[in-house]
Amino acid sequence: MSDQLIHWWTQHPRRFMAGLGLVLLGTGVTAFGVAVPVGSDVQRSGTLTESLDLPSLNASIRNEPVVLFQSDRVKRTDTLDGFLHRMGVNDPAASEFLRTQAVVKTLFGNTQAPWLTVAATDQGELRQLTARWINEDGRSFTRWDLSRPAADWIVTEAQAPLLASTRLSGGVINSSLFAATDASEIPDSVAVELAEIFSGDIDFRRDLRQGDRFHLVYEILEADGLPLRNGRILSAEFVNNQKTFNAIWFEQPGKKGDYFTLDGLSTQKTFLGSPLAFSRVSSGYGMRFHPISGNRKAHLGVDYAAPTGTPVRTVGDGRVRFAGWQGGYGKVVFVDHSNGQSTVYAHLSRIDVRVGQSLSKGDRLGAVGSTGASTGPHLHFEFRVNGRHQDPLAMVRKSEPVTIAPDMRPEFDAVASAQRRLLNSAQTLQQALAQAR
Ligand SMILES: [Zn+2]
């Protein structure tokens, strides 16, 4: 971006963002969320497009009622009447008809957060109501539509595939990852995935520094332009303590997709970076090395303070060797992995696996508790090789080489350079925004 453009933009950030939204539409990028509120203007571009279709000018000339289109997500606390009121609908006959529709009952009070688009006159008369919600397959949605072109209501229902659109975003760490992602309006599930992708290199509980920054490109799955579900992170860059890490999602035919560095090296580790998933709840808890036995040297594990009930997962594929009570460990699970490696998860409040059971990396095996010789809720985690204790944090950082097949290399290079450009755009825009503030 030229200096002139940045200068103009700093004077007119809102107009710049709107213009950018239009420019990016042509490249498959429909929104840019950065650490300022202007991003939300662009994200509403779907609604904006609808309002442009309105014959409002002609209507007012001919003295016909103006029809307004509005879209909003149904909140869990919403009722039909409350929602319609919020949308400016005041139409008792329409409300009564809607109440007879079984599908309307399922739209309210569930966790799906469907989108409703309402077309109503400026007098509050309902003309059309369209509901869109995600189907169980996670890839398609239902479009339920009610309209009244003449005297009678017409109800239609159709299925359609969700369409993926791409978003660029980024942030700077001031206090925590979630504070930064909140400021950039990045959904929680995307923030957790970001932490997961880099968890082999960065311990998000301990290693984050003020001024660390990140950029990412992620998918949003949309129904007629309305975001229904967060998709995968396509690429991301994280600068931690002046060190840059990056990851690009790439799928090779016949293999599971994986994250690779820009050079085509796998970022996939044999083990997860932590037996606790990064979450809003646990991120507030520091990790501590605490000597339960009273002797620091005797403590051969890592303790993760976390609330009782926090899910605990196996850090790698393996088989349960022991699951039950054992002395100071309290409720404990031992998992055997390959090459004589094993892991220990102690002081659990509950155990969800049995001896001999096969586990895949990330499978839940129990929940954090304070059983055995424990002074408060925490997970005690050990890593052993042939029975000997190892530094768990060093072990989980060992990587498993996954290479890109030579014939897939040109395709990977093309994907990598496209993602590199998008990440650069995210970074440029963020720097300009920082200057504008
Ligand atoms: Zn411990």
Q: State the distance from the centre of ligand 1 to the C-alpha of 275, rounded, in angstroms.
A: 13
Compute the distance between CA of residue 280 and CA of residue 200 in angstroms, rounded to an integer.
Answer: 19
Domain residue ranges in the chain = 66-161, 164-268+402-436, 282-395
**pLDDT at residue 299 in the model:** 61
**pLDDT at residue 22 in the model:** 34
Q: State the distance from the centre of ligand 1 to the C-alpha of 364, rounded, in angstroms.
A: 20
Specify whether the CB–CB gap between 334 and 383 falls below 8 A. no
**pLDDT at residue 237 in the model:** 95
Q: State the distance from the centre of ligand 1 to the C-alpha of 361, rounded, in angstroms.
A: 22
Q: State the distance from the centre of ligand 1 to the C-alpha of 286, rounded, in angstroms.
A: 14
**pLDDT at residue 280 in the model:** 66
User: Which amino acid would we find at residue 331?
Assistant: K
**pLDDT at residue 321 in the model:** 97
CATH 3.30.70.560 fits 66-161, yes or no: no
**pLDDT at residue 20 in the model:** 40
Q: State the distance from the centre of ligand 1 to the C-alpha of 268, rounded, in angstroms.
A: 27
Q: State the distance from the centre of ligand 1 to the C-alpha of 297, rounded, in angstroms.
A: 11
**pLDDT at residue 58 in the model:** 52
Q: State the distance from the centre of ligand 1 to the C-alpha of 6, rounded, in angstroms.
A: 52
**pLDDT at residue 68 in the model:** 87
Q: State the distance from the centre of ligand 1 to the C-alpha of 377, rounded, in angstroms.
A: 11
CATH 2.70.70.10 fits 282-395, yes or no: yes
CATH class of 164-268+402-436: alpha beta
Return the number of other C-beta atoms located less than 10 Å from residue 342's C-beta: 19
Q: State the distance from the centre of ligand 1 to the C-alpha of 188, rounded, in angstroms.
A: 29
**pLDDT at residue 400 in the model:** 65
Q: State the distance from the centre of ligand 1 to the C-alpha of 326, rounded, in angstroms.
A: 14
Residue-level pLDDT, tens digit, the chain, 437 residues: 333 333 434 444 344 343 343 333 333 333 343 322 222 333 322 222 333 334 445 545 556 778 888 899 898 888 999 999 999 999 999 999 999 998 888 888 777 788 999 999 988 999 999 999 999 888 899 999 999 888 889 999 999 999 989 999 999 998 889 999 988 888 888 999 999 889 878 888 778 899 999 999 999 999 998 988 888 999 999 999 999 999 999 988 877 788 898 888 877 777 888 898 877 655 444 444 443 433 444 467 888 888 899 999 999 999 999 999 999 999 999 999 988 999 999 999 999 999 999 999 889 999 999 999 888 898 999 999 998 888 887 777 776 666 788 899 999 999 999 999 999 998 888 777 777 76
Compute the distance between CA of residue 143 and CA of residue 50 in angstroms, rounded to an integer.
Answer: 16
Compute the distance between CA of residue 416 and CA of residue 165 in angstroms, rounded to an integer.
Answer: 18
Compute the distance between CA of residue 142 and CA of residue 158 in angstroms, rounded to an integer.
Answer: 6
User: Which amino acid would we find at residue 288?
Assistant: R
Q: State the distance from the centre of ligand 1 to the C-alpha of 315, rounded, in angstroms.
A: 17
Q: State the distance from the centre of ligand 1 to the C-alpha of 106, rounded, in angstroms.
A: 47
Q: State the distance from the centre of ligand 1 to the C-alpha of 293, rounded, in angstroms.
A: 9
Q: State the distance from the centre of ligand 1 to the C-alpha of 378, rounded, in angstroms.
A: 8
**Given this chain, do its domains 66-161 and 282-395 carry the same CATH topology?**
no
Q: pTM for the full model? A: 0.67
Q: State the distance from the centre of ligand 1 to the C-alpha of 301, rounded, in angstroms.
A: 5
